[in-house]
Chains A and B, each alone.
Chain A
Amino acid sequence: MGAAKFWAVSFIVSLMILVVTRSQIENEYFFFAGYVVLQYVVLATAWNILGGYTGYTNFGTGAFFAVGAYSSVVLQKLSPLPVPAMILVAGLVSGIIGLGMGYLTLRLRGVFFAIATLAMAIVAQTLIVNWDFVGGARGIYIIRPEHAPLFGGYIQYLYSLMLLLAWFSVAIARSIERSRLGIGFNAIRDDEQAAEAAGVPTLRLKLIATTLSGALMGMAGAPLPYYVTYLDPASSFNLSYAVNSVAMPMIGGMTSWVGPIIGAVLLGTIQQVATVTIASELNLLIVGLLLIAFVIVAPNGIVGLVQARRRARGER
């Protein structure tokens, strides 16, 4: 399927999911939970553009996500815009931070880059904690508009936006995967010196990857203040965003755009169910155990398992 066709088909599929869920499901909790799962589809897909395709592990997902959320807070205080516009602004702000992170790749690779992204997240959190305008360490209350644009409740509205954002991220990831850019990213992941010797402008490509990945993460964070209505640094910079956005592509499979979706839907749903039925503290434990299991049993994730089985069948 060509890129243009994929954008069209996936858009229609997303619209159908939107129409069916919004018309058939009455229970508001579904949209609360669905929003979180879709948010993880965006985060995992965004992480995978840098981590899976290009091979740079980013532990700073929480920072990009929170910067997106706080850019909405700033806008809300200065001059409230419609949420879709805030998503775009958040993407711009986090994209610029992503660009900055890209320059780290000049000097840092592998585990050192990963540690630097973690450090960057802590720096960003410290800045927000000490910035009174956005509530500082106390956090800040955001009053939702009384009525959602279009029809239905506000949470249904946020769910719809996140579904479109998920579609947008996945379509971008899929387009990259099958493009000149994607093969360049893969060359960088496999061997940066060899990529450069083959003519790949590695720095420029890495900057594209970090910017794009960061921008999408920030976009996922932009509606958060309206979702939670109370935003504080400790929860918005939570490490669980970083852990989840690493774990989901790893469990789903990092080589294909399908992987992060599978991982996010699977893990996200398990976490939502566990939160309701057992306890919310259990979430990270589940992620941790699943991650260990997959690293041992299926290092290439679910997509890798399926591919291996298909290959084995083909050879027989």
Chain B
Amino acid sequence: MTAAEPPLLAATGLAKHFGGFVALEEVDLTVMPGERLGLIGPNGSGKSTLVNCLCGTLRHDSGTIAFDGRRLDGMPAHQRTRLGLARSFQLPKPFRSLNLVDNLSVPLLYTVNARPGARLSAAAIEAGALQLLADVGLADKARRLPRDLTQVEMRKLELVRAVATAPRLLFADEAMAGLSPSEIEEILSVLFRLNEGGITIVLIEHIMRAVMSFSTRLVVLVAGRKVADGPPQEAIRNPEVERAYLGE
């Protein structure tokens, strides 16, 4: 990575209010290509709101977002996904009436196949979905419904559905919440593999051990403001971060 390289994602002065509550206040965020960025902050600090605004699930009130040099302001979420901006949800949102293959067929049909020049056949879609499921160890449940999955499998499905959009930037929103240490390792290794495959990853996470081992850079949000941005070890020693997490 050279300093002259343009950022993959650049948000400036991003703000979001819910009524009188300020969820995000003038947040600047840049993500460089290939980066593994950790995004942390106490509950209610605006992490998910930030992801929602960047991915188009919510409309931000002011500020600008550019992805790969292209302005995203006001663009609906599905178009951002097609540009290569994918996300998983904090609470898994599987398509409950569809089996796992069909769950992945949705992004394959509507994102990968919707990109210029792509024309996957029905057989190729199914093969692609099966391959993605095999990559995360869900191949044997390919024809089952999401309700037959365990907690960790559900998290994997949520993640792999975002990966199925063939993104350039992936927001993994608390992909490990509620998992055991060995399961966390499993998800982390999936994320490392994706990153090696060329996907830039922003990890939103509470589990510090996971964030610290994964991230090459750390951004800390407190009460809707960015209070630290830098190498992980430096960022968590920032006085404001310590105050937010540990009190005065």
Q: Quick one: which of B39-92 are within 8 Å of A by CB?
A: 55-57, 76-78, 81-82, 86-87, 89
Q: Quick one: which of B67-124 are within 8 Å of A by CB?
A: 76-78, 81-82, 86-87, 89, 93-98, 102, 105-107, 109-111, 114
User: How many whole Å from B94's CB to the nearest CB in chain A?
Assistant: 7
Question: Are B95 and A255 within 8 A (Cβ)?
Answer: no
Q: Which residues of A contact B132 (CB under 8 A)?
A: none
Q: With an 8 A cutoff between CB atoms, is A104 at the interface?
A: no
**A-B pairs under 8 A by CB, number:** 80
Q: With an 8 A cutoff between CB atoms, is B162 at the interface?
A: yes
Instruction: Across the interface, name the chain B residue whose C-beta is closest to A204.
Output: B78
Q: Which residues of A contact B86 (CB under 8 A)?
A: 197
User: How many whole Å from B88's CB to the nearest CB in chain A?
Assistant: 8
Q: Quick one: which of A200-215 are within 8 Å of B by CB?
A: 200-203
Question: Are B77 and A197 within 8 A (Cβ)?
Answer: yes
CA distance A203 to B106 in the complex (A): 16
CA distance A174 to B178 in the complex (A): 41
Question: Are B95 and A194 within 8 A (Cβ)?
Answer: yes
Q: With an 8 A cutoff between CB atoms, is A82 at the interface?
A: no
In this complex, the interface size class of chain B, counting residues with CB under 8 Å from chain A, is 20 to 34
Q: Which residues of B contact A193 (CB under 8 A)?
A: 57, 77, 89, 93
Q: Which residues of A contact B107 (CB under 8 A)?
A: 198-199
Instruction: Across the interface, name the chain B residue whose C-beta is closest to A200.
Output: B110
Question: Are A183 and B89 within 8 A (Cβ)?
Answer: no
Contact of B76 among A189, A194, A201 (CB under 8 A): A201
Q: With an 8 A cutoff between CB atoms, is B200 at the interface?
A: no
Question: Are B97 and A255 within 8 A (Cβ)?
Answer: yes
With A183-B102, A196-B76, A199-B111 already in contact, the answer to whether A189 and B97 are too (CB < 8 A) is yes
Contact of B110 among A184, A189, A203 (CB under 8 A): A184
* Residues of B near any A CB (own CB < 8 A): 55-57, 76-78, 81-82, 86-87, 89, 93-98, 102, 105-107, 109-111, 114, 161-162, 164-165
New A-B contacts (4) at CB < 8 Å, excluding given A191-B93, A194-B93, A194-B95: A186-B97, A190-B94, A199-B81, A199-B165
